[in-house]
Amino acid sequence: MEIITSSIITIGDELLIGQVVDTNSAWMAQELNQVGISVSRRVAVGDDWQAIWNAIDQEMAGSHIVLVTGGLGPTADDITKPLLNEYFGGKLVLNQKVLEHVRYLFDKVYKRPMIPRNEKQAEVPDTCTVIHNANGTAPGMWFEKNGRILVSMPGVPFEMKGMMKDSVIPELVGRYKLPLILHRTMLTAGIGESFLADRISAFENALPSHVKLAYLPHYGMVRLRLSATGFNREELIMQMDSLFETLQEQLADVVATSRDEPMEAAVARLLLERNATLATAESCTGGYIAHLITSRAGSSQYFNGSVISYANAVKTDLLGVPEATLQSDGAVSEATVTQMVKGALASFKSDYAIATSGIMGPGGGSEEKPVGTVWIAAGNKNGVRAMRFQFRFDRMRNIELASFNALNFLRKFMLDQSFHPKN
């Protein structure tokens, strides 16, 4: 059976001068893969007629489906619509339904008067099928030519996402007989990519040809992904289950989570299982751990809050770190993070707490405590464990690494029997 392939084209000068990071493509690729449509290329071009035209021509020749985002706004740099109109040989006509929707948005949602520029958004090529944009004024457009499909959507992420979920994906699924693509992902911590590869090389070499293994280094950890393609769901699931189990067994000592989830989700599951609460006392991570945790829906069930103690006085005033400790050991020390955990447990009346204190750079380092030095502690009422980490990157990456490692440190602490005596 034929594999259905797609290309994603993103349009906008801002992508080529690097002013924005393209997050749309990754999201679209995920959605397409989930329904068995393989993505073979992603292309970004500027707001330039010839460049867009060539990209469309090229991708239409190579893929069954071409998804295009961007260039549909009401401003002069947006040229996708007239270009598609010409490419598919139609003429622009006012679409009454779209016009009503635009009017509704201005009337009821934006509560602003409409200007002629907005009305023009209701014009669409007569060669396309209009796709409803529930979240914005620019309609999506579905074209077909020589058995190939091109769908044009706005570049605004939540508008594009709504259209993909509500219209484009269901329509594509109905159109083709699609193969199953299954992915299984685990996150390992504490082992380098090449060592991992060596440990599982026999496993990797024995994989059947329709199953692929990928190594995705991520914040000093490595995600491993098994991907399988096929048409028999039950068979494929059974085979993947078995392969994944083998892999888990071989790597039991280094697997942080064997689901396709971020570290904070693994921690959330542990907390929910125990009906326990967490607080964080963050110095160098500056709230990033709390942000990772609270980005998840339902986090108020297990997260009490955080003190971000950027100034030393805050460590004393709000977390009860004795001034003597700060004087003798310094803010970046085992003694300080241990006290911070105890302070957070008390202030937030939580079951568990994490604390971080370190030097993220670029300034502030010394010979004894160079930039990247971070003390991390985790604890509960039975005790606190602390560890020194050394990162060696730029500020933002150091913050991210410290946060992910702190969550992993808590996870290990929660699984450590010695801090969880049977009552």
User: Environment class of residue 311 by beta-carbon count within 10 Å: exposed (0-12), middle (13-18) or buried (19+)?
Assistant: exposed
In this structure, the chain runs to a length of 423
Contact track, a copy of itself, 154-193, x by CB under 8 A = --x-x----------------------x-x-x------xx
- Specify the residue, 233 or 392, whose C-beta has the smaller distance to a copy of itself: 392
Smallest distance from a copy of itself to CB 422, Å: 28
Smallest distance from a copy of itself to CB 421, Å: 27
User: Environment class of residue 379 by beta-carbon count within 10 Å: exposed (0-12), middle (13-18) or buried (19+)?
Assistant: buried
* Distant-in-sequence, close-in-space partners of 44: CB < 8 Å, separation ≥ 6: 9, 10, 11, 12, 15, 16, 22, 25
- Specify the residue, 303 or 352, whose C-beta has the smaller distance to a copy of itself: 303
User: Environment class of residue 383 by beta-carbon count within 10 Å: exposed (0-12), middle (13-18) or buried (19+)?
Assistant: middle
E-assigned strands of 56-210? 65-69, 92-94, 123-125, 129-131, 140-145, 148-153, 180-189
* Distant-in-sequence, close-in-space partners of 274: CB < 8 Å, separation ≥ 6: 351, 414
Structure tokens that stand for 362 in this block: 């670029």
Distance CA 271, CA 22 (A): 34
Region 48-87 residues binding a copy of itself, contact defined as CB under 8 A? 51, 55, 58, 73-77
Region 342-401 residues binding a copy of itself, contact defined as CB under 8 A? 347-349, 361-363, 392-397, 399
Q: Which of 189, 293, 341, 374 binds a copy of itself (CB under 8 A)?
A: 293
- Specify the residue, 177 or 392, whose C-beta has the smaller distance to a copy of itself: 392
Smallest distance from a copy of itself to CB 66, Å: 14
Q: Tell whether omega for the bond before 154 is within 30 degrees of 0, i.e. cis.
A: no
Distance CA 223, CA 381 (A): 33
- Specify the residue, 127 or 227, whose C-beta has the smaller distance to a copy of itself: 227
Beta strands at 180-189 and 221-230: parallel, antiparallel or unpaired: antiparallel
- Specify the residue, 54 or 129, whose C-beta has the smaller distance to a copy of itself: 54
Structure tokens that stand for 4 in this block: 């259905």
- Specify the residue, 311 or 415, whose C-beta has the smaller distance to a copy of itself: 311
| DSSP classification of residue 302 | T
Position 195 contacts a copy of itself (CB under 8 A): yes
Region 101-120 residues binding a copy of itself, contact defined as CB under 8 A? 109-110, 112, 115, 117-118
Q: Which of 11, 39, 99, 186 binds a copy of itself (CB under 8 A)?
A: 39
Position 17 contacts a copy of itself (CB under 8 A): yes
Smallest distance from a copy of itself to CB 229, Å: 11
Q: How many CB atoms lie within 10 A of CB 206?
A: 10
SS3 267: helix
- Specify the residue, 239 or 347, whose C-beta has the smaller distance to a copy of itself: 347
The answer to whether 181 and 228 are in contact (CB under 8 A) is yes
Candidates 265-273, 281-289, 321-329, 334-342: pick the segment binding a copy of itself (CB under 8 A): 281-289
Q: Which of 286, 320, 330, 383 binds a copy of itself (CB under 8 A)?
A: 286
- Specify the residue, 218 or 420, whose C-beta has the smaller distance to a copy of itself: 218
Position 134 contacts a copy of itself (CB under 8 A): no
Binding residues for a copy of itself, total number by CB under 8 A: 107
Position 264 contacts a copy of itself (CB under 8 A): no
Position 216 contacts a copy of itself (CB under 8 A): yes
Distance CA 131, CA 107 (A): 21
- Specify the residue, 103 or 420, whose C-beta has the smaller distance to a copy of itself: 103
Smallest distance from a copy of itself to CB 129, Å: 25
Region 306-325 residues binding a copy of itself, contact defined as CB under 8 A? 306-311, 313-314, 317-318
Position 25 contacts a copy of itself (CB under 8 A): yes
User: Environment class of residue 267 by beta-carbon count within 10 Å: exposed (0-12), middle (13-18) or buried (19+)?
Assistant: buried
- Specify the residue, 365 or 383, whose C-beta has the smaller distance to a copy of itself: 365
Question: Which of 362, 312, 352, 356 lies closest to 333, judged by CA?
Answer: 356
